[in-house]
Structure 1
Amino acid sequence: MISFNYETEFSLNNEKALADWISSVIQAEGCKEEEVNYIFCDDEYLYNLNVEFLKHDTLTDIISFDYSLGKNIQGDVFISVERVQENANEFNVSFDEELRRVMVHGVLHYCGYKDKSEAEEKLMREKENLYLERFQ
């Protein structure tokens, strides 16, 4: 089950389409969807999580807590809508496109993809682009 939660005034207007899309990504990666919670928040909320749980004193657009067991996908994906908007402006893309990129990025981590090395980051970006093209 894909669920959406809000810790800020932001809300999605196409939850069903996004949930179906994320489910299709999980299935295409040969994994089983259990429970993935997206929590949309502001910079301050995500910054506090970053400091408390990861000991990183920086702003970020996404933090994902992976509770997956093997191919059974579950976790919490926290997204700062303020960071997403700033990144969309910086990369000259729409807010919705950047939001979908961040959303699929989080679930791809749960499917086993990493982005620490240059090669891993390249593969992650290729997968993001593939699935972004498939969003209906």
Structure 2
Amino acid sequence: MAIQFTAHEVKVDLKEKTKLKTFLKDLFAGEGQGLKNLHYIFCSDAYLLEINKQFLQHDTYTDIVTFEMGEDPDVTEGEIYISIDRVKENAEKFKASINQELHRVIFHGALHLCGFKDKSKAENELMHQKEDEYLIKYFGALE
């Protein structure tokens, strides 16, 4: 099982990577989802916009795009692209620290790969509850 973090043409200050990897493994296990490979790619708005256009036919900025890459629905192999520009902007917008917002998005992508959706109002509310639950478990409290 491998979890990787890569910065693509951006600077990201991701602390305690070993702790985060262990936590993510526990998140998947707690949600009853197997995990084989997970790759987080931190990038710019422009880079993620191109991915959004090319693969999802969406011509909009977003903070995250999640791809399931594996064949087995019970074992995750995925790539998660996160725009550091969006994370910083959303941290300011929601009056959160950049570190907390970055982890919220990291957990959000993992939850997508565990089967959680966020299209309907009810799905979105559940996703936010799960994000908060994992942020509190990770940090001990919301920053």
TM-score, normalised by the number of residues in structure 1? 0.95
CA-CA distance at 1:37 after TM superposition = 0.2
Structure 2 CA distance, aligned partners of 1:33 and 1:81?
25
| Map of 2:83 onto structure 1 | 80
Is 1:91 the counterpart of 2:94? The answer is: yes
Shift of 1:135: 0.7
Q: Distance in 1 between matches of 2:66 and 2:39?
A: 10
**Whole-Å Cα distance in 2 between the matches of residues 67 and 122 of structure 1?**
26
Query: What is residue 40 of structure 2 aligned with on the other side?
Result: 38
- CA deviation profile, 1:42-83 (whole Å, cap 9, x unmatched): 111101111111111111100011124222011000001010
Aligned-partner residue type, residue 27 of structure 1: A
Correspondence for 1:8: 9
Q: CA RMSD in A?
A: 1.1
Moved over 6 A (4+): none
Paired residues of 2:8 and 2:43 also in contact (CA < 8 A): yes
Describe how 1:117-128 pairs up with structure 2 within 5 A.
Answer: 117-128=120-131
Q: What is the DSSP-based 3-state SS (H/G/I as helix, E as strand, rest coil) of the residue aligned with 2:127?
A: helix
1:134 Cα deviation from its structure 2 partner: 0.8
Structure 2 portions without partners, runs of 5+? none
- Deviation of residue 95 (structure 1)? 0.3
Task: Tell me the amino acid that sits aligned with residue 54 of structure 1.
Answer: L
Q: Which of residues 101, 107, 112 in structure 1 aligns to 2:110? A: 107
**Where do 5+ consecutive residues of structure 1 fail to align?**
none
TM-score (norm 2): 0.90
Q: Which residue of 2 aligns with 1:29?
A: 31
CA shift at 1:19, angstroms? 1.1
Percent sequence identity is 40
